[in-house]
Chain A
Amino acid sequence: MAAATDDAGDSNEMIRVVSSDGEHFEMPEAAANLSLVLRHMIEDDCADAAGIPLAVVAAKPLAKIVDYCTKHAAKSSGLTIEEAEELKRFDAEFIEVDTDMLYDLLVAADFMGVEGLSKLAVQRTADLIKGKTPEQNRETFGIVNDFTPEEEEEICKENEWAFQITKPPSRLC
């Protein structure tokens, strides 16, 4: 599966990478350079026809990452305002994923050292958490509440600032 082999790289060499479950991907060298790990591999002459094995990245997130890097590498230097906005829109759409994929992207981007994507995934996670009650967040991320009621009460008391309701007592109305 060659997820992204568009004309972004023009004269650039194509870099092959292999996911943990054995799928092969190709991307232009400029795109691969966005990943710190791949860049170092290329610099050390470790990129050959067999492809660079990425032992902890599965095919699904790797396809997304190749997609991301190819897009960003094609538009890396001398952005016009429109192009920057288009890239922003691309990012916003790109990160609209379920929590499973988000988790995979967080780990994979951090592992591969793709700084922009790492930031994007972290921000998306934060956005999902922001302004929600713990109950809502547990539901979103499938977190199991392992507190005893006493412990929960204690922790809520300690962090009361987070739970100060902004509904008024009746006499203010």
Chain B
Amino acid sequence: MDTAAPARYLSVFDELLARREEHIRLCAGGGKDRISELPDDLLHLVLRRLDTRSALATAALSKRWAHLHRDLPALEFRVTDVIPQSDRYHWYLHRRRTLGERRRPVRDSTLNKFDVIIGRYERHAMRSLASSVNSLLDADNGGEARRRYQRMILEVFPTHNSGYMNRLIATAIADWEVQDLEVTVLDTTSSHNGMGYRFPHHCFDDTMFPAGCSLKTLKLTNCTPLEAVAGGELQPPRVFGSLTVLVLQGMPRSTRNGVYEGVVHACPRLEVLHLRSCSFREKSLSIDAPCSPVKELLIDDCDIDMVYLRSLPRLERPACVGGEPVEFSFGAVPRLASLSLSFYADVNERTWYTTLMGMRNEYPLFNFLNRLPELDSLMLRLTGPERWLVPIGLKADSPLSKLRRLLVADMPSSWDLTWTRYLLEAAPALETMHIHVASGTASPGRRVAWPPAEFKHRALRELVIVGYKPSERQHEEFVSLMRSTCVALRDVALLERGHVRDKGLWDWELMT
């Protein structure tokens, strides 16, 4: 080998060589245990690829490894990882669920037997978790090298003994400076009724976090973030002081509206609020938070009828997806620019209300589109076996005067396209209209009367219909109506095949 490398080589290699001198020395050693000789940064890379349990287990290899795991990106405590004989547990759980779903009623005593067995497995796993968490926290009192984790995940079964969980969460936030916390309370059987878990605010006091708390993202599943506070008069808890993203999932039916509104008040930096599969005691959500910086609100598959956004001055993107049409009342939301709505309804479904009133299960468009003067982009996914929109336009005083882009996606083939006239009429500035008709054999149903010939739309330039069927007379008619109504229409694309690719919840792209 040409060992006398010219000086110009050395200048390039210099820094790297200096950094790697250690390697050369180690390579020359030729010891058998070569992995322990790797520099810390490489071993950290390896540990980062391990699950928490495997990473913690490396501590017992040798002294070299004992403290390496104190700096990991994530720490996960999932109780389901330590269920004894998890195959059997899952078999019991599966049987319990299928029994519960049977049409023929199963005797309560049979179900109880299953619940008792499942409960034993779960309690055993929870005792293992409790003991492990306590051991880990106790070891820290010895003053060893400081731990640093960016993320912590805690998954538990409902329990009466939550002391160690409180202690873990408090340590994670206050000492380890965890930025991203996820707490999931699993609810496998109904036997856990009444046992909930609340975020342990009592473990933090106001003198903590003088420089601000590290917690940025919090995801709680079946776990209460705070007590409902009337009017949000309470001083916001310091531990939520830096929180920017909050996800609440699977909140029980007993949750009061005040809890949801309360968290918006309690988190002065909150920008993103996601509610997933949550239940609402009053079946409605109301937010009146004139000081809140919330920009993004997602209501996903929640059991809810009404949403009152009374005041959210920074709100830019709300979305409501899944479930029956939700009625929206928009108050002071001056920055609301993008809206995404996705609803399903069956017109023939019989509820106590439709039966009592002798009506079909139908909804007017103005239920969820009203008073949105700043709206720029709208995404609608309205589905169901038959069109459930009442043929009435938006209220005259609430046009979507700045709406430029519109997507109507997943439209069932049984819906006629003509109902989109109400959107066209309400949005005089609309430039782009994308319609995606879902594949299906059903022919379009009842048409909606087209506005009189005097009505002209003067802004629409681009119309794209994906899933267009040339053989379908109503499709053809719709296009010719559009051509005569929209005087500025330049680009018309009628595509038989294609789909919509979502770019996040509020933007899209049509793919062919």
Q: Which residues of A contact B (CB under 8 A)?
A: 18-23, 37, 40-41, 44, 46, 50-53, 55-56, 58, 99-100, 103, 106-107, 110-111, 118, 122-123, 125-126, 129-134, 137-138, 141-147, 151-152, 154-164, 166-169, 171-173
Contact = CB atoms under 8 A, between A and B. Distances in A.
Nearest to A126: B49
B33 interface: yes
A103 B35 contact: yes
A151 B120 CA distance: 34
Interface stretch (B83-91, B313-321, B452-460): B83-91
Given A53-B3, A53-B9, A164-B53, 13 more contacts: A18-B1, A56-B24, A106-B38, A110-B42, A125-B46, A129-B50, A137-B61, A141-B35, A154-B139, A159-B60, A160-B131, A161-B132, A162-B53
B38 A159 contact: no
Interface in B248-286: none
Interface stretch (B13-21, B107-115, B230-238, B350-358): B13-21
A137 to B, nearest CB: 6
Contacts of A137: 57-58, 61
Given A146-B62, A157-B139, A111 B16 contact: yes
A144 B62 contact: yes
A168 B12 contact: no
Contacts of B449: none
Interface size class of B (residues with CB under 8 A): 35 or more
A123 B136 contact: no
B493 interface: no
Contacts of A158: 59, 135-136, 138-139
Contacts of B121: 172
A172 B1 CA distance: 67
A55 B10 CA distance: 11
Interface of B: 1-3, 5, 8-9, 12-13, 16-17, 20, 23-24, 27, 32-36, 38, 42, 45-47, 49-66, 69, 77, 81-86, 88, 120-121, 124, 128-129, 131-133, 135-136, 138-139
Contacts of A58: 27
B136 A144 contact: no
By secondary structure, the B interface counts as helix
A23 B203 CA distance: 64
B38 to A, nearest CB: 6
B35 to A, nearest CB: 5
A43 to B, nearest CB: 10
A77 to B, nearest CB: 22
Contacts of A129: 46, 50, 54, 58
25 contacts: A21-B1, A22-B2, A23-B1, A41-B9, A44-B12, A53-B5, A56-B20, A99-B35, A111-B20, A118-B45, A125-B35, A126-B47, A130-B51, A130-B54, A131-B54, A137-B61, A138-B61, A143-B33, A143-B62, A145-B61, A147-B62, A159-B59, A166-B82, A167-B85, A169-B124
A162 B54 contact: yes
Contacts of A126: 46-47, 49-50, 54
A131 B138 CA distance: 25
B33 A141 contact: yes
Shortest beta-carbon contacts, A-B, top 8: A22-B1, A126-B49, A158-B139, A168-B84, A161-B132, A162-B57, A162-B56, A159-B56
A99 B57 contact: no
Contacts of B5: 53, 55
B17 A55 contact: yes
Contact of A144 (B20, B33, B46, B56): B33
Contacts of A18: 1-2
Nearest to A59: B1
A123 B49 contact: yes
A172 B50 contact: no
B1 A20 contact: yes
A103 B34 contact: yes
Contacts of A143: 33, 35-36, 61-62, 64-65
A172 B54 contact: no
Given A46-B12, A161-B136, A100 B57 contact: no
A101 B57 CA distance: 24
Contact of A103 (B3, B38, B82, B128): B38
A111 B46 contact: no
Contacts of A106: 38, 42
Nearest to A19: B1
Contacts of B27: 56, 58, 107
